[in-house]
A and B are shown apart, each in its own frame.
Chain A
Amino acid sequence: MTDTSALYQEVILDHNRRPRNYCAMADATIEERGVNPLCGDELTLYLRMDGDRIADASFQGSGCAISRASASMMTSIVKGKTRAEADALIEQFRGMATGQTVLDDLPPALRVFAGVARLPQRVKCAVLPWHALHSALTGGTGSTSV
């Protein structure tokens, strides 16, 4: 199987078809919009904070399989995490997507995205939700671009 086809493995296609946490959140405490101005993809990230902890996370929007699957997995993984834990994940994910982080640092579920590092024009798709999360946790401008 070739590099690109390998990236579109079942787990990514599954999250694309049936994205987890794909809904608006009525009691969200933070709402952050992420856009990729190059392609027009957009998502809205909803977080409900409980003190320092992310009590709940969800998203909605339109985007490619890579960005949807990334948002789907991200919202699942960051639930229950503290800000500091989420920050660490953001750093590790960005590092992996740009080909810098050692994969061992990352939760295994996220390692399927390692392949985007070989597709420079798709890196932004994978990191779009993570950029929105970073922005949401650092004060939130309400809108983020990658």
Chain B
Amino acid sequence: MSAIVPRSDFSLLSANPALVYLDSAATAQKPRAVLDAMNDFYETDYANPHRGAYALSARATERYARARAAVAQFFGVRDEACVIFTRGTTDSLNVVAAAWGRANIGAGDEVIVTGAEHHANFVPWQQIAIERGAIFTICPLTADGRADVEVLAALVSEKTKVIAFNHVSNVLGAINPVAEIAAIARSVGALSVCDGAQGAPHMAVSFDALDVDIYAASAHKMLGPMGTGVLIGRREILDAMPPYQTGGDMIAFVGDEQTTWNVLPHRLEAGTPNVAGAVGLAAACDYLTAIGMDAVAAHERALVKVAHERVSAIEGVRVHGPSAAERSGVLSFTVADIHPHDLASLLDERNICIRAGHHCAQPLMRRLGVAATARASFYVYNDENDVEQLVEALESAKRVFAVA
């Protein structure tokens, strides 16, 4: 099984032919198209958008607006103004927890997260619950790591204000039933917040069809630049949300005593925006759309199926999470009693990049009963040879540790 994009699209990968990059769930490599688009903005249309009374500034504004339109289309959002550019998923989720949470969560209310959340979709909710005197509830998981929707449906009440959950687990690759969870939230009038950091890069996402209230994603995990992300929300939610930051661009009129706010999306984007970041993300969306998100998902599913079979066939290996057919391109495992960090160091020596540790998901590690796991994750540029290299390296690590 070969990669579905040419390795030569990625300068870093073609400069390092022996590199086996299996950490795309942490961050994805960048195709030249993304870097070129960002560079082109700086070299041809660069000025501060939204304010200059000159043609160059208008071109920068136009670039920024076009980027938003492309990103909105990629995420299946008809109402472009509901795509807010942020610094990334963590930023997006913190904005919602702080701005929406502070205005809508009160003492005795309930905030629900799942036991498989990345710290970015766990800690902000835990903290706002503490601040507001609300009850913080952790929804249990099914055996394969998804939110247990039967339990969730029984947990919720009119006190439930928020249900925060991941689209895809960054540790297990387990895919949550987003629309089903959103419907449970809606049934009690709670806000549904979906962390899409591991969803959007790997499968088609139609925000309007998912019917979730909030969806957050990071550009850097979907071939775009670091430091850029999106907060997508239903208009009535975003319109009613108090501004998270105040300052330039987000105001309508600043009086001596009071200030009125600009309209969406500007109301939630204080200060000079990261136009190059948005342009880079839009180019990444275009690149992925050209491949086809269904082809991306199918490629990853095929690769992770082979990886799942080959890695779990190694004696002493325990693979965590769902069956290969039901997971995104993420494989978390432990090898006998070799600590994942030792494993990652030994693999690194063979030019294989995997992640080892708690993956910013300590609550999930406790639920799995492990201190850490090793994680290999796949993307468009990976092929079956990468899986072979991984398997050989794991066998070799077992020999170093003298594990039979």
Contact of A66 with B by CB under 8 A = yes
The reply to whether A41 and B349 form a contact with Cβ atoms under 8 Å apart is no
A65 to B341, CA, bound (A): 8
Contact with A along B334-356 (1 / 0, CB 8 A): 00001111100110110000001
The reply to whether A39 and B372 form a contact with Cβ atoms under 8 Å apart is yes
In the bound complex, residues from chain A placing their C-beta under 8 Å from that of B338 are 65
The reply to whether B348 and A40 form a contact with Cβ atoms under 8 Å apart is no
Stretch in A3-11, A83-91, A103-111, A129-137 with 4+ CB within 8 Å of B: A3-11
A70 to B338, CA, bound (A): 16
Contacts A40-B371, A119-B345, A121-B345 known; 15 new A-B pairs at CB < 8 A: A4-B346, A4-B348, A4-B349, A7-B345, A13-B401, A39-B356, A39-B357, A39-B372, A40-B365, A40-B372, A63-B339, A65-B339, A65-B401, A122-B341, A122-B345
Question: Nearest Cβ in chain A — how far from B106, in angstroms?
Answer: 32
- For chain A, residues 24 to 80, give those with C-beta under 8 angstroms from any C-beta of chain B: 38-41, 62-66
Contact of B240 with A by CB under 8 A = no
The reply to whether A66 and B372 form a contact with Cβ atoms under 8 Å apart is no
Interface size (B, Cβ < 8 Å)?
19
Contact of B254 with A by CB under 8 A = no
A40 to B371, CA, bound (A): 7
Contact of A97 with B by CB under 8 A = no
In the bound complex, residues from chain B placing their C-beta under 8 Å from that of A13 are 401-402
Contact of A138 with B by CB under 8 A = no
Interface size (A, Cβ < 8 Å)?
20
A122 to B346, CA, bound (A): 11
The reply to whether A41 and B371 form a contact with Cβ atoms under 8 Å apart is yes
In the bound complex, residues from chain A placing their C-beta under 8 Å from that of B27 are none
Question: Nearest Cβ in chain A — how far from B261, in angstroms?
Answer: 38
30 CB < 8 A contacts A-B: A2-B349, A3-B349, A4-B346, A4-B348, A5-B349, A5-B400, A7-B345, A8-B342, A8-B400, A13-B402, A38-B357, A39-B341, A39-B356, A39-B357, A39-B372, A40-B362, A40-B372, A41-B341, A41-B372, A62-B371, A63-B339, A63-B371, A64-B342, A65-B338, A65-B342, A66-B341, A119-B345, A121-B345, A122-B341, A122-B345
